[in-house]
Amino acid sequence: MTYRENINILIKRLRRIQLVSLLLMFIGVVLTVMVWNVYESDQWYSKVIILIGIIGEFYCWAKVRQIKCPQCGKNLGYLLLDPSYSKTNGAILLPKELPPDRHCCAYCKTSFDVETDA
């Protein structure tokens, strides 16, 4: 398995978590707005739902920031978080995969398509 394939598997998993987190935040906001005038309660459940969504988003962002080159150990998270590198429309969602036009580490020129041990 290549380093690119390993990273793409991680990205797909994080993207699913990110989409669920965004959905939870949306549901929490909708519940807050809908129930605001109907009940005079504290609406603690919608705050918890929003908080879980925010924690999920932060988790995905932190895991992407930890992606490092297998050779030199430099951070490669910018390839996914910056829309100009990842060729995405915005920076809210993670891209679906490591950009296909990026073939090697920008620092040490190690290829992402070389077979790895792990």
Share of the chain above pLDDT 70, in %: 86
Does 118 score more than 60 pLDDT?
no
Does 50 score more than 70 pLDDT?
yes
For 13, residues 6+ apart whose C-beta sits below 8 A from its C-beta are none
Residue spans of the domains in the chain: they are: 3-86
Whether the pTM exceeds 0.85: the reply is: no
Q: Is 41 exposed, middle or buried (0-12, 13-18, 19+ CB in 10 A)?
A: exposed
Which comes out higher in pLDDT, residue 31 or 89? 31
> 3-state class of 95 per DSSP?
coil
Which comes out higher in pLDDT, residue 80 or 12? 12
Q: Which residue from 57, 46, 104 is spatially nearest to 81, judged by alpha carbons?
A: 57
pLDDT in tens, 71-85: 888 888 877 777 777
Q: Report the mean per-residue pLDDT for the chain.
A: 83
In whole angstroms, what separates CA 59 from the centre of its chain?
8
pLDDT for the residue 41: 63
